[in-house]
Amino acid sequence: MPAPIDARAESMTGTFLVLDGPEGCGKSTQAKLLEQRIAALGRHTLLVRDPGTTRIGEQIRGILLNPDHREMGMRCEMMLYMAARAQMMHEVILPALAQGTAVICDRFVSSTLAYQLGGDGLTADEIRCAAEIAIEGRWPDLTILLDMPADKSLARVTRAKDRIEQRPMAYHERVRKNYLAQAHADPARYRVIDADRPPEQVEQDVWRAVRPLIEAPNE
């Protein structure tokens, strides 16, 4: 939960940042580094993961990633992600943003538009319509996509692979294309960063993209 803040911040509008990308691209590492950078400037920060963060969201996460649930349809999968997201927005993210907090989210709707798009005939419009309800219309201010070739990113996953990670390489290559297509379609709200480099180099580029939003005066 976000840390208590003083009354002066109650009227502020927070900054909503998302780090996304394929399995093994370094999202979690970069999200933590970004949180430290922003906190060092004196801003209140909140780091969350999607799906998860809330008690309900973590239970849904367990269902989604369990390899035993092979019969799950893609529409069911999409709606479960949205359900976990809706609870996180209601319980954690929206209250934090209302207090002026900089929220950093590890994955978000951009993941659904990459991983579930096309499955069971799902279209981008259908996913966005479901998302609009789940997130109450509060889209991220900026989404950072950490881009890597699918074979290199999956090679970084050394633990037992979850239900999504176990899918064939052709699926993960399509996921990468879906990510890049999002960024191409909405360059004002997306930044693509090459993640196939040392973490410190990636961190510098992430900060370069985020810094104007963090240092800009609140409306």
Indicate whether this model's pTM tops 0.85.
yes
pLDDT mean over 153-172: 91
Residue 132 maps to a domain = yes
pLDDT at 160: 86
Domain with 15 in it: 7-215
Is pLDDT at 129 greater than 50 in this prediction?
yes
Q: What is the pLDDT of residue 12?
A: 56
Spell out the residues 6+ positions from residue 177 whose beta carbon is closer than 8 angstroms to its own: none
- Does 138 fall in a domain? yes
Q: Are 216 and 100 in contact (CB under 8 A)?
A: no
Predicted confidence at residue 14, as pLDDT, reads 96
Using N-to-C axis directions, what is the helix angle for 199-215 and 27-40, rounded to 10°? 50
**Per-residue model confidence as pLDDT tens digits over 16-37:** 999 999 999 999 999 999 999 9
* pLDDT of 6 above 80: no
Does the pLDDT value for residue 217 go beyond 90? no
* Cβ count near 94 (within 10 Å): 17
Task: Work out the average pLDDT over 150-163.
Answer: 90
Q: Is residue 198 part of a domain?
A: yes
Mean pLDDT of the chain: 92
Whole-angstrom distance, CA of residue 82 vs CA of residue 112: 9
Q: Is residue 146 part of a domain?
A: yes
Between CA 8 and CA 16, with CA 11 as vertex, the angle to 5 degrees is 110
pLDDT at 7 over 90: no
Helix (H, G, I), strand (E, B) or coil at 141: coil
Tokens of 185: 């379609």
Q: In whole angstroms, what is the distance from residue 83 CA to residue 130 CA?
A: 10
Residue type, position 114, single letter: A
| Euclidean distance between CA atoms 27 and 129, whole angstroms | 26
Q: Of the given ranges (6-20, 96-110, 162-176), which has the lowest mean pLDDT?
A: 6-20
Domain annotation covers residue 90? yes
d(CA 11, CA 31) in angstroms, rounded, equals 26
Q: 120 pLDDT exceeds 80?
A: yes
**Number of independent structural domains in the chain:** 1
What's 103's domain CATH number?
Answer: 3.40.50.300
Confidence category of residue 13, pLDDT binned at 50, 70, 90: confident
In-domain check, residue 1: no
* 19, 74 Cβ separation under 8 angstroms: no
Question: What digits encode the pLDDT tens for the residues 83-103?
Answer: 999 999 999 999 999 999 999
206 lies in some domain: yes
Residue 2 resides in a domain: no
pLDDT of residue 3: 38
Task: Show the tokens assigned to 155.
Answer: 């090679």
